[in-house]
Structure 1
Amino acid sequence: MQTSVHEIADGVYRLSTCLPDVAPGGFLMNQYLVDGAEPLLFHTGPRRMFPQVCEAVARVVPPQRLRWVSFGHVESDECGAMNEWLDAAPSSRVLFNLLGCRVSLDDLADRTPEPVEEGDVRDIGGHRVRAIPTPHVPHGWEAQVLFDETTRTLLCGDLFTRAGDAPALVHDDDLITPALAADDLFGATCLTATTAPTLRALADLQPRTLALMHGPAFAGDCAAALRDLADAYEARFLASVRTVAA
């Protein structure tokens, strides 16, 4: 397995590895490095992938310069190598929403994490990053996304997950059909009454780029893609409600 590195927005780098055996055609595992005065890594990758992800980060910045480690929720592909990164970068800390710190990360992280309140914006030098809690979207009570206000890049974690390999960056691609197919395959998305409103609120941010964890980065009408995904999930949720009621 090889990890590729591509700049998908100004100072935002996609580190991507295709795992061959997870799904038909492979399955992408992406991390995103936001290069500023205080570099931030979004997703650590699993612990066993730490050496190759670390080597990929080193193509952009010295790994020991990493200042912030963040991720979408507490799961091995998001944060399995969290403590390896805290060890490799002595000044680094985990940056996460207050709920996630209280329920998991205060105990799991080898160094005390930095909790962020909803609405707080962190200036990492060249990029202004906001953590946005998205409980159970796509899954996990403590789920969150990060929004780089400087480049308007939404680091959206497991949203729009798809199976198979993909280019580093696509323009005006269909994100919905493969996302629904992946949901049929994995059953990973938590559908609740708040799923669609949460996605529509993210659309209101008017992102320019969607940084997918399991798929290509997307540059196009990102707000429309988020609203289309909201509509698709809302239809599935309402259909399940009608089935139960019947």
Structure 2
Amino acid sequence: MATVTEIAPDIYRLTAFNEAANFQFSSFLVKDDEPLLYHTNLRGFFDGIYEAAASVLDPAKIRWIGFSHFESDECGSLNDWLARAPHAEPVCSFVGARTSVDDFSDRPPRVLGADEILETGSHKFRVIETKHLPHCWDASLMFVEAGRTLFCSDLFGHGGDVEPLIHDGIIDRTADYTTAQQLGPMSRSVPVTAETRPILEGLADLSPTTLACMHGSSFSGDGGAALRGLADLFDGI
């Protein structure tokens, strides 16, 4: 089974580790009146992530399934989840729906516009359009206003079977991993453009206190400072 850690009140990190890649793949499950799963994870990890989710709540009660962009670790097992959660709906951006999800998903998605709020009970999720950040035209992120958690997708990615939550050092880890990646075929995973820093500055202005990172440890602390540090890191690439 994947590991399960509550990284913020009612927000659970469900993490599978790929030893061959030395890389963690995390999904996030939010317990609420209408539970939300963010990142479906890879199809190959479905059974383990599903079992981990079942240790938190009945997966059949999941109501919303979100993800940043169309990529296997983001939404590869979407239809497996939809088959197990009869009332679940995918949530994605307009571009995501038009280019991929309308065709791929076994159930029509709910399309969320920029800055639209999705209410699940006690939580409000704000959709933030971040085209091409971390990558892909359809990219967006979600911000949980209560508790100030930002679902970061591939931002701050770093390798290793690391601890679930850290309180410092996230930029150093990201810098080390990014530098190493630049030397191989997986380089330039984030297409740095003139819009990259403004988007990251806008995310920093939300003052998140928890960064829910898909690959590597999540972070608790001054998320705004971490996001500005990430912008500085990308400026140097």
TM-score, normalised to structure 2's length?
0.95
Contact 1:122 1:128 (8 Å CA) reproduced: yes
Give how far 1:174 is off: 3.4
Identity %: 42
Give how far 1:181 is off: 2.9
Structure 2 residue corresponding to 1:147, chosen from 143, 150, 169: 143
- State the partner residue of 1:168: 164
Give how far 1:50 is off: 1.0
- State the partner residue of 2:214: 213
Consecutive unaligned residues of structure 2, counting only runs of 5 or more, are none
- State the partner residue of 1:180: 178
Give how far 1:99 is off: 1.4
- State the partner residue of 2:15: 16
Identify which range, 87-96 or 164-173, moves more after superposition.
Answer: 164-173
- State the partner residue of 1:78: 74
Give matches, 1:13-162, under 5 Å. 13-22=12-21, 26-162=22-158
Give how far 1:183 is off: 4.1
Give how far 1:179 is off: 4.5
Give how far 1:180 is off: 2.5
Identify which range, 64-73 or 172-181, moves more after superposition.
Answer: 172-181
The one-letter code matched in structure 2 to 1:3 is: A
In structure 1, distance between residues paired with 2:117 and 2:27: 21
Q: How many positions carry a matched residue from both structures?
A: 232
* CA displacement, residues 108-159 of structure 1 (integer Å, 9 cap, x when unaligned): 1110000011111111012111111111111111011110111100001000
Instruction: Sort the Cα spacing of 1:94 and 1:163 in 2 relative to 1 into closer, same or farther, 3 A.
Output: same
Instruction: Sort the Cα spacing of 1:95 and 1:182 in 2 relative to 1 into closer, same or farther, 3 A.
Output: farther
- Moved segments of 4+, more than 6 Å: none
SS of the equivalent of 1:192 reads coil
Contact 2:115 2:129 (8 Å CA) reproduced: no
In structure 2, distance between residues paired with 1:178 and 1:130: 31
